[in-house]
Amino acid sequence: MVAQHLGRAPVTLQNGTLLPGGRAVASFQLQDQNDQPFGNAQLRSAPSLLFFGFTHCPDVCPGTLALLAAVQRDPALAALRVIFVTVDPGRDDTATLRNYVRAFSPSMVGLRGDDAQLESLMSSLGALRAITPTADGLYSVDHSRARCRPEGSLMPPFILLQHLLPQHALSRVVLWATRLRWSPFKNLLIGSFVSGFKPDLSDADQYDPLQYASFNAFFTRALKPGARPVAEGSQQLACPVDGTVSQAGPIQGEQLFQAKGHHYSLDALLAGAAQHWAAGFKDGLFATIYLAPYNYHRIHMPADGVLREAWHVPGALFSVNATTAANVPGLFARNERLVLLFEGAAGPFAVVLVGALFVGSMTTVWHGDVTPRSGRNATRLLPIDSAAPLSLPRGAELGRFNMGSTVVLLFGKDQAALRAGFDPGTVVRMGEAIGQVSAP
């Protein structure tokens, strides 16, 4: 229909859902990013692509808008208008919305309005949103379309959208965008992120976010010396990252707990390394820690160890937040990941870096940037930096996430114990004691 409106030749559907006819858009009246009225008359003035989202969205929204902005730059599609409609008007005021859409394209339109107007527009287009209170007194937002699972329950819209998105293509776009050094673009991107997520920069080595050369340099920023003291005592197990505990506890045979109703196996998680390493973690201990976008994103050694093997495992790039973990079976064994295997004083342990939607790459001190790759088979990685020692002490930096993700720690049977209170939902900081390793 868009092609017909633009006077172009008919196109063949390659991927997506073909609707047999148009839908009538309900009467609505919203305000644009300049606080000007925008309703049905303005919508009819040009062919438009509408996307419902919110500026605090950490992954799907910015990635999709970056892709739509790139499509819009095609000279043949100059008449096409991209419209971003916020489903979170309580937090997305006019100024926030204006700065957000400008970060993607000067011609992008941003719309906001009261709940009644939003619901009228969204329901006429078959779009949904869900506002869910959280334990910290705030709320989370899910949005987009929904569908029924075979058993009849609703798949959350955020999960459905991830199944439909070209995950790796979007991650490549993010990889490119977050490394751009053009000041107007990177400053808008950083400014929007700081406004939306309000990261604590008081302990950053460079306090001024706009002084970083690129968004990725800001996102993977270093901390001031001493900002994260490492727990004292040779048997202390140090937290490898800033984040929130997703799950932790004993490995039941070869099964790790992901979320209610979902488990995954050591063999599936370790992939190519499983043959020689999975048995060593059977009936052992695991900890899964989620890094939110506002967290510090460098990863450190939880204990003294010598790197014995490293594997890149290709896979999907679903988000790794709590909503996705509760709805995507085997999430951490399905996503792309790096499996780092160490020998420590008490025995073997593993640090698994799990990729996620819009994680353009992961980095280790031994292998440099490891970007999403094609192919179905796990690949053993060889160090490319001969100057990086294979043996690292507890607290030393081992890598970083270029955009947010999750770390899974594995320890063998009777080789480690987690401290009391290290429970799901606990906020942790790199270097703090999260348990103890057994004496050799």
User: What residues act catalytically?
Assistant: 242, 300, 405
Q: How far apart are CA 272 and CA 126, in angstroms?
A: 43
Q: How far apart are CA 123 and CA 69, in angstroms?
A: 25
**Structural contact between residues 66 and 174, judged by C-beta atoms closer than 8 angstroms:** yes
Compute the C-alpha angle 268/273/279, nearest 5°.
Answer: 75
**CB under 8 A, 24+ apart: contacts of 343-346:** 343/305, 343/306, 343/308, 344/303, 344/304, 344/305, 344/306, 344/437, 345/234, 345/303, 345/304, 345/437, 345/440, 346/303, 346/411, 346/412, 346/415, 346/416, 346/437, 346/438, 346/439, 346/440
Torsion of CA 175, 178, 182, 187, to 10 degrees: 170
Residue 361: half-sphere exposure toward Cβ, Cα within 13 Å:
18
Cross-strand partners of 411: 285, 349
CA nearest neighbour of 415 among 437, 435, 394: 437
Which residues are CB-contacts of 142 (< 8 A; sequence separation ≥ 6)?
128, 129, 130, 132, 156, 157, 158, 323
Q: E strands within 162-315?
A: 236-238, 243-250, 255-259, 262-265, 285-290, 298-300, 305-313
Q: How far apart are CA 161 and CA 167, in angstroms?
A: 10
- The 10 Å Cβ neighbour count of residue 163 is 12
Kindly write down the DSSP assignment for every residue of 360-388, as one continuous string: -EEEETTTEEE----SSS-EE---S-TTS
Pairing type for strands 154-155 and 147-148 reads antiparallel
Compute the C-alpha angle 234/225/405, nearest 5°.
Answer: 75
